Amino acid sequence: MQPSNKFPKIEKLKSTKDLDELFGSGKSIHENPIKAIYKKKTEKSNVALSVGVSAPKKLIKLAVSRNLIKRRMREAYRLNNYQLKQTLINTETQLNIMFVYNSKQILSFNEIENKIKVILNRLNELFSNANK
């Protein structure tokens, strides 16, 4: 079976309620300079995984640079999310994740992708072991 590398609109984390809940009581995984804040969804939806990305204006002043970083994080997530999605579907768990970039330095796509892979693997292990 070919893994789906899509990141449809329905999987994007936009709900103010979900974001407030996520930042209020979510847990985090830190893989310098990317921090992933995650929380299980309280209300059931038809999507196993909702994801958002953020690059703070306080650290990266130029909008062009912030957008570049966010594009790189989204693309790295899109290419590497398959295993975590499968684990969440198999364990019937739903998750919200926010990736936050915490550095003034702009990393290359390969460096960002490696950091995102580590975070996704850790989340995968966490949720695959939680239901055993």
User: How many Å apart are CA 90 and CA 70, to the nearest integer?
Assistant: 29
14-47: buried (b, 16+ CB within 10 Å) or exposed (e) per residue?
Answer: eeeebbebbeeebeebebebbbbbbbebeeeeeb
Residue 7 has what pLDDT? 85
CATH topology for the 12-130 domain? Ribosomal Protein S5; domain 2 (3.30.230)
**Residue 119: band (very low, low, confident or very high) from pLDDT cuts 50, 70, 90:** very high
Using a pLDDT cut of 70, give the percent of the chain over it.
Answer: 95
Q: Please, which pLDDT band fits residue 131 given cuts at 50, 70 and 90? A: low
**CB count, 10 Å around CB of 95?**
19
Average pLDDT over residues 88-98: 91
Asked if pLDDT for residue 44 goes beyond 90, the answer is no
Question: Does the pTM of the predicted model rise above 0.95?
Answer: no
Phi, psi at residue 44, to the nearest 5°?
-70, 140
Please report, for the chain, the start and end positions of each structural domain, with discontinuous segments joined by +. 12-130
